[in-house]
Structure 1
Amino acid sequence: MSPLQRLRGASRLAIDATTGLTDLVEAMHAEIARLPFTPARERTGGLTGQVYRSVRGVTRLVGAGLDGALATLAPLLQQTQADQANAVQAALNGVLGDHLDATGNPLAMPMGLHPLVPDAKGPAVVLLHGLCMHEGQWQRDGADLPAALAAWGYQPLGLRYNSGRPIWRNGQELAALLDTVPGPLTLLGHSMGGLVARSAIAQADPSGWPSRLRTLITLGTPHLGAPLERGGQQLQQLLALSAYARPLALLAGRRSAGIRDLRHASLLPGDEGRASVLPLPDGVACFAVAATTAHETSGSPARWLGDGLVPVASALGQHRMQSRRLAFTDTALLPDLGHLALQTDARVQQRLHAWLALR
């Protein structure tokens, strides 16, 4: 799907969002058209600005009007890099993915596995991204975890999925999809991705691919829930990954089913609004990495701060009730590290190398 097709799919949302979505699209347009090193803005000028003002003035026709307004973006979007377009679509799916899916909107991201190192051979490692992200973001900021996995003798497969859908639905679909992956399996999930992995394991036929699952690794996964769902400030941090996605913060108050499921770590059908009591899989080596933005890992402040999005206790499955605790094979807690950096930090990569060498 081209960047233009992605954004034109947003016109399907206009029937519900009316002028609010028009503001969103104009803000995205203004960011794309902005010259380098000039201040950010949320409004366009000239003829383009008149188009958007006209759309706001005729809310009954906002669906068709917005589609026409989006057409004015074509010359700019042709110059937009594919990775930026993917970031916009992934962010929009995180915020409104349940609605996109329910209405058949073309912007809804279909689930699929994508080879991240085309010539890689060996046992498959499925990398599951987090909220508002996509599989290409395992390779950014000068880091390349898929390339490292390939060098260690693994075949990295990136899972792309609509992170705004309920976690159990993504887990159910992943459970069926993994039956198509032969040989030994490792699941590596960042943030929400770790919850989707656990949901898939619980919903799969134990005699199928779970019998071939060797390792489960989670990075900053809110196993006991996260305060992320309770406010929009942290969501804006995720959207800030791309300048083109930042205007989507305007929609942060409208939380998708996926975001709501993060509050209590709701992983199974029927568990909406409450925590799923789900042990780690038997016979599988399970590892977890947590981070704290504090300089030291000891003390209450470090544990309360967590990685900025997920508390340490949640990432390590350390609950006061025995029935809720998760018995990981090994865990790591790293200082001076934020939630998003867990995908790219060299210390995390070293831990992964050591753990995978055990299998």
Structure 2
Amino acid sequence: MTPLEAMDVPASVPETPVVPPARASGGGVEFAIGVLNGVVGDYLHRSDNGLATPMELFHDGRPLALDRESLRRAYPHSRGRLALWVHGLAVTEAVWSYPEEPATTYGAQLERDHGFTPLYLRYNTGLHISDNGESLARLLEELVAAFPVPVEELVLVGYSMGGLVVRSACHVAAEAGQAWLSRVRRAVYIGVPHLGSPLERVGSAVSWVLRKVPNAYTQLIADVADLRSSGVKDLGVARLLKRDWEGASPDVPLQSRAHPVPLLPGISHHLVVGALAEKERHLVSLLFGDGVVPLTSAAGRAGNTVHDLLVPPEHVRVVPGAHHFALAHDARVYAQLQSWFEEVSP
């Protein structure tokens, strides 16, 4: 019996402090724009609205051009060992900052301890995951070609939706034979809904039911519910590929056409899983995972050979008492990352 198959129900559940998303994401105008892009980013993109966030690397809070001189000025001491940090839905790269120490991030710590130059991505999380995957693959190809020193290794770290974008980009690069993929030997997925998120599936079902009621008011509510962006809807069943959603009927709820996308061989994959309660086997953790992503989804344990990610148990770490937003800036998570990076490179 695995830990996820057993249940241990103590008398009480310890309180879990909740970090408000605004605080975890930096607050202010940029936080608001991040949320806006997460909710209606696909509409902003289609309408060529200036609030739509383009996919770019950010350095010291500013967009970074992918030319050799700009990269040299931004990373004058880099030795070609890079770590890309990809944020999740409706936030920006500021989500990686520790709430009480904004200058401290996993990226800064990994650079200090292991010499990996941190690269922070910002992107429109309202777009389809597959669209962002294609854009990220192109961006990384440009980055590797323009970086001022040869890229020896590129580590990919994705938080929440960001992990799905990373997986999509790797699939695109593998099919296209892009050069950057050969530099990737390690990938880390933090709180990633590899098997989808039930919260989005519930939203889809509610919208569908409301549309079946022949009433103008319920139709209006359904319209509002359907404002969820393409990116949010993709999270329901973890749609990583364009063929997963092209031609899908909006009138069929929970329509799952997600094709299996195995983790690429030749890369050491590591998964961080959050659990609300202090024990992984607590009923609350088993039912709700980290509050957003179920344990089985974040651990890639589908229970079948088609969708199971088949990650070695030693490469999966459950962090008890950690809700979804805290996973992007938790000392225990970094301690695990450091432990993995101390292992011999694959």
Q: Fold-level match, TM-score > 0.5? A: yes
2:208 is aligned to none
**Preserved contact between residue 124 and residue 154 of structure 1 (Cα < 8 Å):** yes
Deviation at 1:300, TM superposition (A): 4.7
2:38 is aligned to 94
Distance 1:116 1:356 in 2: 25
Residue deviations 1:251-310, cap 9 Å, x none?
Answer: 766210000000000000110253230100110010000011012112554222200000
Moved more, 119-128 or 154-163: 119-128
Larger radius of gyration: 1
Relative to structure 1, is the Cα distance of residues 304 and 147 closer, same or farther in structure 2, using a 3 angstrom cutoff? same
Relative to structure 1, is the Cα distance of residues 298 and 229 closer, same or farther in structure 2, using a 3 angstrom cutoff? same
- Code of the residue aligned with 2:185 in structure 1: it is R
Secondary structure of the structure 2 residue equivalent to 1:210: helix
Deviation at 1:230, TM superposition (A): 3.4
1:138 aligns to 2:96 (yes or no): yes
**Preserved contact between residue 303 and residue 312 of structure 1 (Cα < 8 Å):** yes
Q: 1:213 aligns with which of 153, 161, 184?
A: 184
Distance 2:326 2:27 in 1: 18
Deviation at 1:356, TM superposition (A): 1.8
Distance 2:320 2:164 in 1: 23
Moved more, 152-161 or 222-231: 222-231
2:65 is aligned to none
Q: 1:158 aligns with which of 94, 100, 120?
A: 120
Matches within 5 A, 1:225-264: 225-231=196-202, 254-264=227-237
- Code of the residue aligned with 2:91 in structure 1: it is M
- Code of the residue aligned with 2:328 in structure 1: it is Q
2:135 is aligned to 173
Deviation at 1:207, TM superposition (A): 4.8
1:148 aligns to 2:109 (yes or no): yes
**Preserved contact between residue 98 and residue 330 of structure 2 (Cα < 8 Å):** no
TM-score of the superposed pair, with normalisation by structure 1: 0.69
Q: 2:160 aligns with which of 187, 191, 197?
A: 191
More RCO (CA 8 Å, sep 6+): 2
1:121 aligns to 2:90 (yes or no): no
**Preserved contact between residue 224 and residue 275 of structure 1 (Cα < 8 Å):** no
**Preserved contact between residue 294 and residue 305 of structure 1 (Cα < 8 Å):** no
1:20 is aligned to none
Deviation at 1:231, TM superposition (A): 5.0
Relative to structure 1, is the Cα distance of residues 115 and 328 closer, same or farther in structure 2, using a 3 angstrom cutoff? farther
1:277 is aligned to 260
**Preserved contact between residue 53 and residue 123 of structure 2 (Cα < 8 Å):** yes
Deviation at 1:211, TM superposition (A): 1.1
1:308 is aligned to 291
1:58 is aligned to none
- Code of the residue aligned with 1:298 in structure 2: it is R
- Code of the residue aligned with 2:200 in structure 1: it is E
**Preserved contact between residue 279 and residue 326 of structure 1 (Cα < 8 Å):** yes
Distance 1:343 1:297 in 2: 19
Distance 1:116 1:142 in 2: 18
Aligned CA RMSD, in angstroms, stands at 2.0
Could you tell me which runs of 5 or more consecutive residues in structure 1 were left unpaired when the two chains were aligned.
Answer: 1-81, 233-250
Secondary structure of the structure 2 residue equivalent to 1:275: coil
Could you tell me which runs of 5 or more consecutive residues in structure 2 were left unpaired when the two chains were aligned.
Answer: 1-25, 62-73, 145-150, 204-223, 246-255
Distance 2:244 2:297 in 1: 18
Distance 1:287 1:97 in 2: 29
Secondary structure of the structure 2 residue equivalent to 1:320: coil
TM-score of the superposed pair, with normalisation by structure 2: 0.71
Relative to structure 1, is the Cα distance of residues 177 and 226 closer, same or farther in structure 2, using a 3 angstrom cutoff? same
Relative to structure 1, is the Cα distance of residues 158 and 252 closer, same or farther in structure 2, using a 3 angstrom cutoff? farther
Distance 2:237 2:285 in 1: 21
Secondary structure of the structure 2 residue equivalent to 1:96: helix
- Code of the residue aligned with 1:307 in structure 2: it is D
Equivalenced residue count is 261
Q: 2:51 aligns with which of 86, 107, 116?
A: 107
- Code of the residue aligned with 1:99 in structure 2: it is Y
**Preserved contact between residue 116 and residue 157 of structure 1 (Cα < 8 Å):** no
Residue deviations 1:307-335, cap 9 Å, x none?
Answer: 00000000010011111110224100011
Q: Percent identity of the aligned residues?
A: 38
**Preserved contact between residue 218 and residue 287 of structure 1 (Cα < 8 Å):** yes
Q: Which runs of 4+ in 1 moved over 6 A?
A: none
1:343 aligns to 2:312 (yes or no): no
Moved more, 106-115 or 192-201: 106-115
